[in-house]
Amino acid sequence: DQQVKQNSPSLSVQEGRISILNCDYTNSMFDYFLWYKKYPAEGPTFLISISSIKDKNEDGRFTVFLNKSAKHLSLHIVPSQPGDSAVYFCAAKIRGGSEKLVFGKGTKLTVNP
């Protein structure tokens, strides 16, 4: 059973508008969440993270929101740019010092000029 779910395999938005990527998780032991971006033929690159003690973390155009009660997090990109077109993976860490990251299947974002 998947513990981290990204239910939208793809998302298309217009340049300059907001992109919202969603992620749900089932394991209440997760206490740290990350978003990675992946371009074709490259490995995932870290984008932004959030600890479970926070509900928002912002870095430039990227903001991650965490709703612990709903076990839901989202990544907002505003304004979206064509260079943001990539696959975005949500990942979560299990509490207790384990190095294990659990990933979602990814959402392919396309930003149209």
Partner 1 sequence: ETGVTQTPRHLVMGMTNKKSLKCEQHLGHNAMYWYKQSAKKPLELMFVYNFKEQTENNSVPSRFSPECPNSSHLFLHLHTLQPEDSALYLCASSQSGGRETQYFGPGTRLLVL
Query: Nearer Cβ to partner 1, position 99 or 113?
Result: 99
CB-neighbour burial class of residue 10 (10 A; exposed 0-12, middle 13-18, buried 19+): exposed
- Judged by CB under 8 A, the number of residues near partner 1 is 27
Contacts to partner 1 from residues 38-97, by CB under 8 A: 41-46, 49, 51, 89, 91, 93, 96-97
Contact call for residue 26 and partner 1 (CB under 8 A): no
Residue 53 is encoded by which pair of tokens? 């003690």
**Spatial separation of the C-alpha atoms in residues 68 and 32, rounded to whole Å:** 11
Query: Nearer Cβ to partner 1, position 80 or 104?
Result: 104
The CB-of-91 to partner 1 minimum distance in angstroms stands at 8
The CB-of-90 to partner 1 minimum distance in angstroms stands at 9
Q: Binding residue for partner 1 (CB under 8 A) from 21, 34, 64, 92?
A: 34
- For residue 43, give every residue at least 6 positions away whose Cβ sits within 8 Å of its Cβ, in sequence order, or none: none
Quick one: CA dihedral 39, 10, 22, 70, positive or negative?
Answer: negative
